Amino acid sequence: MTISDPAGDDADVHAAIHEATYRALCRHGYHQTTIQQIADEFEKSKSLLYYHYEDKGELLTDFLRHLLDELAERLTVEGADPYDDLLILVDRLVPVPMDEEAVQFRRVLLEIRAAASHDERHRELVRRSDGLIRSAFADVIRRGAETGRFDPAVDPDEAAEFVHTALLGTMIRGVTLDDPETVARTRRTLERYVDRYLLVE
């Protein structure tokens, strides 16, 4: 990539800004993070950051859009067994065990979600993120029902919504209580639900 490739260069700058935003959010939390703290994490020239974004709101909106793209990639599973794929999705969204950085970042996501109720732009991004997760689960459950791996009487969209809701509850309980054992136990309960309710033995 050269200076004569402005589009590529721009992508590089954005990637570096997203990295800096991620680090600042993990370190300070959503409410305490200022654009100055993001600039402090940014290795390139700070003026570059201010050149690209007018304020913290604009920068965070762009960061959330970037997370949404990443999420779409992380939700791509095309294994041989829909049951395994479902558990892979669960594991990618709420891994067990979760390292401290993963816990911190999920705390930030929860703060963003709580704050999104006051901010229509962020709410729309949360809504799209929920939609992506739900349709990934629905696809895998539908595939499982078609191949006879899952109970065909189960409605894929309904089951997907329930798995997503339970997963959100699991994440929230674990990261707010700072209790990895709660995450592990609640995730096992979710897996048992999948085994007993969806799986054809």
> What is the three-class DSSP state of 118?
coil
Cα end-to-end span (Å), the chain = 54
Rule CB under 8 A: is residue 44 a binding residue for a copy of itself? no
The only residue of 77, 116, 184, 200 in contact with a copy of itself, by rule CB under 8 A: 116
Is the Cβ of residue 21 or residue 170 nearer to a copy of itself in the bound state?
170
Among 67, 75, 175, 194, contact with a copy of itself (rule: CB under 8 A): 175
- Segment interacting with a copy of itself (CB under 8 A) among 36-44, 62-70, 135-143, 172-180: 172-180
Amino acid, single-letter form, for residue 34: T
Least distance from a copy of itself to the Cβ atom of residue 156, Å: 12
Alpha-carbon distances, residue 136 vs 71, 89, 98, 179 (angstroms): 11, 8, 22, 28
Q: How far is the CB of 64 from a copy of itself (least distance, A)?
A: 14
Report which secondary-structure segment, H or E, holds 18: helix 6-28
Report H helices in 53-179.
56-74, 82-93, 100-116, 120-146, 156-177
Interface residue with a copy of itself among 111, 180, 184, 199 (CB under 8 A) is: 111
- 13-23 as b/e: b if 16+ CB within 10 A: beebbbebbbb
> Closest separation between CB of residue 11 and a copy of itself, Å?
31
* Integer Cα distance of 139 and 148 in angstroms: 14
Nearest distance in Å: CB 185, a copy of itself? 7
- Could you tell me the smallest distance in angstroms from the CB atom of residue 170 to a copy of itself? 6
Amino acid letter, residue 160: A
* Chain contacts with a copy of itself (rule: CB under 8 A): 29, 31, 107, 110-111, 113-118, 123, 126-127, 130, 158, 161-162, 164-170, 172-173, 175-178, 185-186, 189-190, 192-193, 196-197
